[in-house]
Structure formats: structure tokens, C-alpha cells
Amino acid sequence: DSGVTQTPKHLITATGQRVTLRCSPRSGDLSVYWYQQSLDQGLQFLIQYYNGEERAKGNILERFSAQQFPDLHSELNLSSLELGDSALYFCASSAQTLGELFFGEGSRLTVL
């Protein structure tokens, strides 16, 4: 058990819809990262938050947004969903900005 909790584990929705994925980092970790893993693209970095502030941005679409709350949990919002958004979405946390990463079990999103 990494100590990182992601919900939901599985989500099936339709094109055009909006979903929110939630991540609770390990106790005491200030950094939260979001990654997308699709079959054709592999793992891709989406966005990082550190202590409530956006720290780094990767290949995150404009339809996606994220935030980190004062209690350090984070949410990834995916809107106007397309079939190609079907993927595993991982959250990871670390004590500082990068360093050893602890991954959640992922949220598997299926867009039909």
C-alpha cells in the first residue's frame, strides 16, 4: 500500500460528459502529480501541484483542469470527454518537488 488513494477505481461514461478524479496523497507529502497512461501513448505527465500551487505542466489538454486543495488532496477534472480520453489516470505524491514517487492504484476511465 503506497498510502496514495485514488477514487474512483473505474469509471464508465459517455462522450461529451465531465468527470472528476480524486487523489489523496500520502500523509505529509506536499507534491501531487497526475499522469495519463493510454495504450498508444504510454505514460504521460499531465500536471504537478506543490502545496496548493501549480508547479509544472505537461501534456495536459485545455479540456482538463486540476487543483490541489488546502488539505493537499487533488482533483483532476476532465470535460467534453472524447473516446481518446479513455485511459488509466494515475496520481502520485512525493514529499517535495520530485523525489521518490508513490503512486496510487489509478482510475480507469472508459469513454463510450
Partner 1 sequence: KNEVEQSPQNLTAQEGEFITINCSYSVGISALHWLQQHPGGGIVSLFMLSSGKKKHGRLIATINIQEKHSSLHITASHPRDSAVYICAVEDTDKLIFGTGTRLQVFP
Q: Which is nearer to partner 1, 8 or 99 (CB)?
A: 99
How many residues contact partner 1, by CB under 8 A? 24
Q: What binding mask, one character per residue, do residues 30-69 give for partner 1 by CB under 8 A, x or -?
A: ---x-x------xxxx--x------xx-x-----------
Near partner 1 in 5-24, by CB under 8 A: none
C-alpha distances in Å from residue 64, one per residue of 35, 78, 92: 12, 5, 17
Among residues 84, 97, 110, 112, the one that binds partner 1 under rule CB under 8 A: 97
Closer to partner 1 by Cβ: residue 9 or 63: 9
- Residue 51, Ramachandran bin (φ over 0: left; ψ between -120 and 50: alpha; else beta): left
CB of 16 to partner 1, least distance (A): 26
Kindly report whether the peptide bond that precedes residue 8 is cis, defined as omega within 30 degrees of 0: yes
User: Contact positions toward partner 1, by CB under 8 A?
Assistant: 2, 33, 35, 42-45, 48, 55-56, 58, 88, 90, 92, 97-103, 105-106, 108
